[in-house]
A and B are shown apart, each in its own frame.
Chain A
């Protein structure tokens, strides 16, 4: 009995050391044996005849950090809507790993498979405190009855404390989220993502409204998450993209225009024409 407790304590300590990238607790059967964790194939989405996504093909590798850039209206947010179940495509397939067909799942089911999202326009629960926002996002049994009976364990409290620390909102933890500044809301949403601890993070314009210093910290954080998690970042801030990017995908008019590392992409004449050259 004693030894068991000691081991537990030791494991807890070890976990707190790796706090930036905690254990993944999702579906162990998620089959990424072929490399990619996310497959988007021949996706088309039209809004009243206008094709927001046009035969889009995109593959994200397990553990990679991918940046997606593209001019306004290129379809970046729509792509995230398709992955998270908010928008149903008119055509195409979306697979998470080899076996999970995301088009057959609804929003909460997709979230439960381990896909988390930060929205372009920060959406936090404004009437509730920062602490409560994090608690709501926390990876846990999210069915009704267990949620009614749920009490925060010591470990969960610690985890919320760690995340508060990472996002720099410890002092504000009891204030209503609606009172935060735009940048702080962005951080809170990132914190909510960390609490969810998803396998795949979709991060839409994380540094809009942040100061230079905050932007740097975000870059650091996203970098530390890659590897354990797969991260897809949409961003307009080129400085930021350069600081984190390994592979960059350029979207234009709903399909992939170019893909490669930052230098390749920047020197691609097509890209210069539609985007960087503007």
Chain B
């Protein structure tokens, strides 16, 4: 594969990250499946799932870094695309339950039977097919981003205003998905999934499979993002970030560049959501909550924006911290996160990656 090395030739951070991810992908299945449970080296399936969840967050952070770090579009609504991808996957898993639901209805999910619905709403059609659901995982967030981005960028909404309307977008979707009449399970969301592609979702093997799928998705997305930011399009996008007007006078249709980057980023977020749902076993409107979108921007800021691997590192570190904190002192987490954000923007504008680079440069001289 000549493609990989050539893409990562000038990307030391990327090579390190790929290497680590490769090692983890070999070790995790071994420690989970091959090492007996009695051994102290055994890795529990809970941990595997936790790691898999982190990887989907890393993918989400990557999608935000692509638009924020490289194009200066600060989306505070990217959680919405993540949630939509998650719902598309959830709908598929729901339909896979079939007759095994509490009410045993052959077609209708439990919550619809409970609401006395007679037949499946039209927008649930096709989701029994895996390929169709996967298409929707990308298409729904992509189309929403296309329409939203087209309206926003064409009107030259930028900066804080754009951030605010993306927050409004995710908030509006959250309210909509809370409603039972929408047909997405209301505030309970979609849950009680049984299997995926015929494999039991509770089994260790399936969990490992989804973990590996998340790792592969993250790898491919990283390479795609690297390809984009290293291309001439990437340089145009950076030009837009630094001097938008000037770029227009060179003949670039700035709106188009922003739009397609935004759409691509939304599709990545959707894929992340689709991989997240089978691992946590539920998707509900809480995923649309504005605070989620803000949190993920903080991951990117902590890791260091505009480097791609920084976003991944930030997502992994902050989420590790979150898992730790929410277990030890749940009330403190939001304050800790806020404090972290203030400290990073104040003292580490380039994030952890920036700090490491500076250290590296100092060591070299």
Contacts and interface: CB of A to CB of B under 8 A. Distances in A.
B254 interface: yes
A128 B232 CA distance: 12
A162 B246 CA distance: 23
Given A128-B235, A148-B231, A196 B251 contact: yes
Interface string B227-254: 0100111011011001101111111111
A123 B246 contact: yes
Interface residues of B, number: 23
Contacts of A124: 246
A125 B248 CA distance: 13
A107 B254 CA distance: 10
B250 A150 contact: no
B256 A143 contact: yes
A147 B232 contact: yes
B325 interface: no
A112 interface: yes
A126 interface: yes
Contacts of B239: 125, 128, 136
A84 interface: yes
A41 interface: no
B31 interface: no
Nearest to B251: A111
A107 B256 contact: no
A119 interface: yes
B248 A111 contact: yes
A125 B253 CA distance: 17
Given A107-B249, A136-B250, A128 B260 contact: no
A143 B253 CA distance: 7
Given A108-B253, A196-B251, A123 B232 contact: no
Contacts of A147: 231-233, 236, 252
B242 A142 contact: no
**Dominant secondary structure at the B interface:** helix
A196 B256 CA distance: 20
A253 interface: no
Contacts of B231: 147-150
Nearest to B241: A127
A214 to B, nearest CB: 22
B233 A148 contact: yes
Contacts, number: 75
Interface string B244-286: 0111111111101100100000000000000000000000000
B242 A117 contact: no
Contacts of B233: 144, 147-148, 150
Nearest to A139: B251
A132 B228 contact: no
B235 A136 contact: yes
Contact of A125 (B243, B249, B256): B243
A201 B246 CA distance: 15
A38 interface: no
A147 B246 CA distance: 17
A112 B257 CA distance: 16
Given A125-B243, A148-B231, A84 B249 contact: yes
Given A108-B254, A144-B256, A144-B257, A126 B242 contact: yes
Nearest to B234: A148
A122 to B, nearest CB: 10
A123 B250 CA distance: 12
A111 B243 contact: no
A128 B238 contact: yes
B252 A119 contact: no
Interface string A118-146: 01000111111000100111000011100
Contact of B232 (A126, A150, A196): A150
Contacts of B236: 136, 147
A127 B254 contact: no
Q: Which 7 A-B pairs have the closest CB atoms?
A: A111-B251, A107-B248, A148-B233, A150-B232, A147-B233, A123-B246, A112-B251
15 contacts: A107-B248, A108-B250, A111-B249, A112-B251, A116-B249, A128-B239, A128-B242, A135-B235, A142-B251, A144-B256, A144-B257, A147-B231, A148-B233, A196-B250, A196-B251
Given A128-B235, A148-B232, A148-B233, 15 more contacts: A108-B251, A108-B252, A108-B254, A123-B243, A125-B239, A125-B243, A128-B238, A128-B239, A135-B232, A136-B247, A142-B250, A142-B252, A142-B253, A149-B231, A150-B233
Interface of A: 84, 86, 106-108, 111-112, 116-117, 119, 123-128, 132, 135-137, 142-144, 147-150, 192, 196
